Structure 1
């Protein structure tokens, strides 16, 4: 039986009480199996023995509920105290409660035994504070309490783990959302700057530019709440983006791709990642029609490799810090993979891990 598939059953009150009844009945059977000198002729499976077990189970269920209520009350009343102080109060309260439970069990059972079976052994044993009856019941109470405590604190520990994991995921998602939200104004304002200059030069080309800009920005809006997109989907978006780049820079930017079919169909990456790398290369390097900037995008094993020649500008733009750091953090938040950045004398290379779709 799969525990996760039947979690509701195992956590239901019906299962909880049935398991308690089974435990209490087992303890009562063990209790009767000892040589109990406080009562003679008490067999394990005869009618009188079963009455003993029935009384033990009913009384045990009430005592179990009482111990749970007492533990919660003490914990609530001592919430302001240090953990060690709370534990001392809790243990002392439960031990005193255990003494009371053992006393009441001996009293009520001995009276019941007199009324139903006219047997006085239990009463005599209770009246003399017999070791066998009172201490025996107290020890079994401690066993039940220990078992209950293990379950209670295990459940609390699991709940704490789930809560911690839930808060961690919410925190990660919040961080990821903040990183994604950086993309929108950054991309949009750069595009508007290009469009402002283009409107006065060519209205027809401006119309095409607006159409492609709408497609690219629609992609950003549609994928805003997605952590990963297929590589092919990102490449389709990149084609629209490169159209905007070619209008602005003509033949000054050359872009070459060599992506395997496997990477295209089964690979996934964070949205707008490739666009940010290309924009980063354009921003930090000089280029012209006679000396274009060449950007290569290829698949290499489990990576997408983006590389460009290094041609530092004489007056480099002030970096906003959005590009590479944004990509690095997004990968760190959604997977165990990290991007790899390397640089040679004339090449700047970024390797993006391809996340395989499940």
Structure 2
């Protein structure tokens, strides 16, 4: 009886399992459909007696046996006993016992009911096997979906973490250049860098963040770069206020800006344009510059030898129904069409 007492203690926790919620309604639908099928097949009228019989079948043959078998199976799984043959046998036994109970109750309630006899074993085998293996199939599908989602999130996290040392290296070079000649400016840049790294850590587990939050970090990054380039660097924003509450993956725009600055660092003047517009299913982001543009090889494959644009391509591909387009128009143009 120890296992039964333990089962009683764990019952409230196990009942939170999605199986109980979904199986109740599925079994109810099966029971109603089966009862209606018998009524139609026998051309019998729908009476209070047939409704009572259907209720008995639902409670004693479907609901109670299935939930009881599930409770025992989940109990064994919690004890790391996970054997398909054993679980299948439990399902069959409980369905057969449920069939016996149903037979007894129907015999007591209806004078004309004929005992199913040995067929209770056949019914238990048939229904127990069907219900158990259907549940196993659904579980396996859900497990595969969950694993794919986990893999996708791990890939996205890896891509995000690739950017951090890359960006930090460039920023520390800027700080190093001014730490002796302009210590106040170096200190200011260091604080901006700290804010960006803190933001990167704070949003590590977030899939979406408000655009306004991303723009704040972009401005901090540009403050670091303006400390390096001075008036050579200009940035124009074309962003409707209605879009600032839109959400998008964090640190998606900044690497594009960083890439533009990196490849046009020797220019006497560099102007960046950040333009956002709304799409029917998301948002369109266009980042252009007046630099030397993309090479033919970059336009062909979508990225160069660095990790910046390749990283962006991989991250956007993970979003689904989103894309990155590269082009030249008096400089490089990167267009993100994000389905949000």
TM-score in same-fold range (> 0.5): yes
Q: Which secondary structure does the structure 2 equivalent of 1:273 belong to?
A: coil
Superposed CA offset, 1:178-226 (max 9, x none): 1111121111111111111111221222222222222222222222222
**TM-score in terms of structure 1 length:** 0.59
Distance 1:168 1:220 in 2: 24
Contact 2:325 2:336 in 1 (8 A): no
* 1:304 counterpart residue number: 285
Which of 226, 232, 235 is 1:246 aligned to? 226
* 1:11 counterpart residue number: 20
* 1:330 counterpart residue number: 315
* 2:257 counterpart residue number: 278
* 1:184 counterpart residue number: 164
Contact 1:287 1:293 in 2 (8 A): no
Distance 2:134 2:84 in 1: 17
Find out whether 1:196 has 2:176 as its counterpart. Answer: yes
Question: 1:352/1:9 Cα in 2 relative to 1: closer, same or farther (>3 Å)?
Answer: closer
Contact 2:322 2:338 in 1 (8 A): no
* 1:120 counterpart residue number: none
Q: Is the radius of gyration larger for structure 1 or structure 2?
A: 1
Find out whether 1:158 has 2:138 as its counterpart. Answer: yes
Contact 2:287 2:334 in 1 (8 A): yes
Q: CA deviation at 1:271?
A: 1.4
Contact 2:322 2:339 in 1 (8 A): no
Q: Which runs of 5+ in 1 are unaligned?
A: 1-5, 34-44, 78-89, 110-131
Q: Which secondary structure does the structure 2 equivalent of 1:340 belong to?
A: strand
Q: CA deviation at 1:284?
A: 1.9
Q: CA deviation at 1:320?
A: 5.3
For 1:1-358, list aligned pairs within 5 A: 11=20, 76=85, 137-139=117-119, 141-265=121-245, 267-289=246-268, 292-301=269-278, 302-311=283-292, 321-333=306-318, 335-344=319-328, 346-354=330-338, 356=340
Equivalences, count: 261
Q: CA deviation at 1:229?
A: 1.3
